[in-house]
Amino acid sequence: MTQFPFNISATDGAARTGVLKTTRGDIATPAFMPVGTAATVKAMTPDMVHSTGADIVLGNTYHLMLRPGAERIAKLGGLHEFMRWDKPILTDSGGFQVMSLSGLRKLTEEGVKFQSHIDGSQHMLSPERSMEIQNLLGSDIVMALDECTPFPATPDQTKKSMEMSMRWAERSKAAFGSPSRSNLFGIVQGGTHHDLRKASAEHLISVGYDGYAVGGLAVGEGQEIMFDVLDGTVPHLPTDRPRYLMGVGKPDDLVGAVARGIDMFDCVLPTRSGRNGQAFTRRGTINLRNARHADDPRPLDEESSCPATRDYSRAYLHHLVKSKEILASILLTWSNLAYYQDLMGSMRLAIANDAFSEFSLKFNELQFSGDIGPLN
């Protein structure tokens, strides 16, 4: 039986809002998890991440096992103590990063043998080792090890990859055991094929997991195909457990996925964009590198509760970006994470008020006015 109750408080079509309760605090859903790959959300302190309204962050098994090492983190009190974050942490299994190593890895039924991108050392990541690492880290939500199917792939290649992931999911659950402070999520695979996605979901449900993730998307297939896959997958997932779309995405991806019944997200986009001079706002995306901002005294959004968004002029942010000042990354990352959390909060409110369709229409109307024209 799951240790983390998931209570849905309202629905609007397929969209839903609720709370996933954990031993380290509640997670309001739909939820966006800032990515803290190497035990840090880049350019942010934990207090700054907390100030945006984030209930949970994501850590990365692959990077942390290589540096500084899961055993070292465990000796230092676990990942929460190590990075000074007292709220829930989800750790991915490391599968996506290992599969991305191309010629530096060898895939077998046992797991993936790979060469570290840091120092060339050899490692084996199996379902059992992934569970061990995530346990050492002290993760609140643990992800089963899967093979992230490449895109594009033939139906036969996709089927074999999915079936491998299902066998690894079973081994992950056996190795996970029954800890009292964490939950295990299974990952649905199957590429762009509805029949394979359905078979994968049904297999995971028959085994039984605490939550269900949709993996293998945001790998180049495009939004239309991604939404089509969700349309063919989400209806086969349990209604009483959280649904997590891995590695997604742009603001309009989040809105479209919530409309299809997804509860949880993670993506590097808000932090990576912040480090590259791009700001997300209610009125669309703003590229602070553009010269048009050099004399603009307006903030990114004067109605925002985030100091980075509300209190600094576009002219100043443009100057910081062009000067390659570290403060540019800090302020724009902070602003972007606050925007993402505000977006999730707005969706939760819209669902609760049975007004998600109206919210979606207004959201789409506003997304084209951020980089041009006045705020009013």
Do 241 and 257 meet the contact criterion of CB atoms below 8 Å apart? no
**Which of the residues 140, 263, 266, 301 is marked catalytic?**
266
Q: Any idea which residue has 């590229």 for tokens?
A: 287
In a 10 Å sphere around its CB, with 0-12 CB exposed, 13-18 middle and 19+ buried, how is residue 295 labelled? Answer: exposed
Amino acid at 155: P
Amino acid at 263: D
Active site residue 140: no
- The token pair at 78 is 């676990």
- Please tell me the distance from the alpha carbon of residue 18 to that of residue 243, in angstroms, as a whole number: 12
187 — alpha (psi -120 to 50), left (phi > 0) or beta? beta
Active site residue 266: yes
Amino acid at 5: P
**Which of the residues 92, 146, 210, 301 is marked catalytic?**
92
- The token pair at 5 is 């109750």
Q: State the distance between the two ends of the chain, measured CA to CA, in whole angstroms.
A: 52
Do 240 and 274 meet the contact criterion of CB atoms below 8 Å apart? no
DSSP H or E run through 27:
strand 25-29
Question: Distance of CA 69 to CAs 21, 78, 82, Å?
Answer: 29, 11, 12
- Please tell me the distance from the alpha carbon of residue 330 to that of residue 271, in angstroms, as a whole number: 9
Q: Residue 7 pairs with which residues in a beta bridge?
A: 19
Query: In this structure, what are the phi and psi dihedrals at residue 28, rounded to the nearest 5 degrees?
Result: -75, 135
Which sequence positions are flagged as catalytic? 92, 266
